[in-house]
Amino acid sequence: MHAPAPGCGGAGSARSFRFGVAGPSADGSQGRWGPRGWLGCGERAPTPPARAGRALGVEPDPACQAMASSPKIIVFDDDPTGSQTVRGCPLLLEFSTANLQAGLADPSPLLFLLTNSRALEPEQVRQELTALCRRLKPLLAQLTRPWLVVSRGDSTLRGHTPLELEVIRAELGPFAANVLVPAFPQGGRTTRDGVHLLHGEPLHHSAFARDQRFGYPSSDLPQWLQHKTAGATPADCVARLKPADSFAELETGQWAVLDASTPNDLDVIGEQVLAELAKGRKHLCQSAASLLNGLSEMPSVLLEPGEVPPIAAPGLVLVGSHVPLSDAQLSSLLQQPGCCGVEFSLDGTPELGALTAQVQRLLSAGLTPVLFSSRGERTGYSPARQRELALQMAQVVMDLEPPLGYVIAKGGTTSLTFLQQGLQLQQVRLLGQLLPGLSMVQPPLPHPRFGRLPVVTFPGNLGDQTTLSRCWQLLEAARR
Tens digit of each residue's pLDDT (9 = 90 or more) over 252-297: 999 999 999 999 999 999 999 999 999 999 999 999 999 999 999 9
Provide the 3-class DSSP secondary structure of residue 110.
Answer: strand
| Residue 80's pLDDT band (cuts 50, 70, 90) | confident
**How many separate helices (H) and strands (E) can be counted in the chain?**
11, 20
pLDDT at 263: 95
pLDDT of 132 above 80: yes
| Residue 348's pLDDT band (cuts 50, 70, 90) | confident
Provide the 3-class DSSP secondary structure of residue 447.
Answer: strand
For 31-40+307-477, CATH gives 3.40.980.20
pLDDT at 471: 97
pLDDT of 143 above 90: yes
CB atoms within 10 A of CB 115: 25
Report whether 61 contacts 71 (CB < 8 A): no
Return the CATH fold of 50-296.
Rossmann fold (3.40.50)
The Cα 440–Cα 425 span in angstroms is 15
| Residue 21's pLDDT band (cuts 50, 70, 90) | very low
Determine the Cα angle at 49 with ends 44 and 55, to 5°: 85
Q: How far is CA 424 from CA 97, 231, 450, in A?
A: 18, 42, 12
| Residue 20's pLDDT band (cuts 50, 70, 90) | very low
Mean pLDDT over residues 395-414, rounded?
A: 96
DSSP classification of residue 441: E
More confident residue, 55 or 298: 298
Instruction: List the single range of 17-21, 146-150, 196-200, 339-343 with lowest mean pLDDT.
Output: 17-21
pLDDT at 305: 85
pLDDT at 161: 96
More confident residue, 201 or 35: 201
Instruction: List the single range of 12-16, 183-187, 381-385, 455-459 with lowest mean pLDDT.
Output: 12-16
DSSP classification of residue 217: S
- For the chain, give the number of residues: 480
Mean pLDDT over residues 36-50, rounded?
A: 34
Instruction: List the single range of 37-41, 89-93, 223-227 with lowest mean pLDDT.
Output: 37-41
End-to-end CA distance of the chain: 37
CB atoms within 10 A of CB 97: 11
Domain ranges across the chain: 31-40+307-477, 50-296
pLDDT at 386: 82
More confident residue, 9 or 331: 331
pLDDT at 379: 61
pLDDT of 28 above 50: no
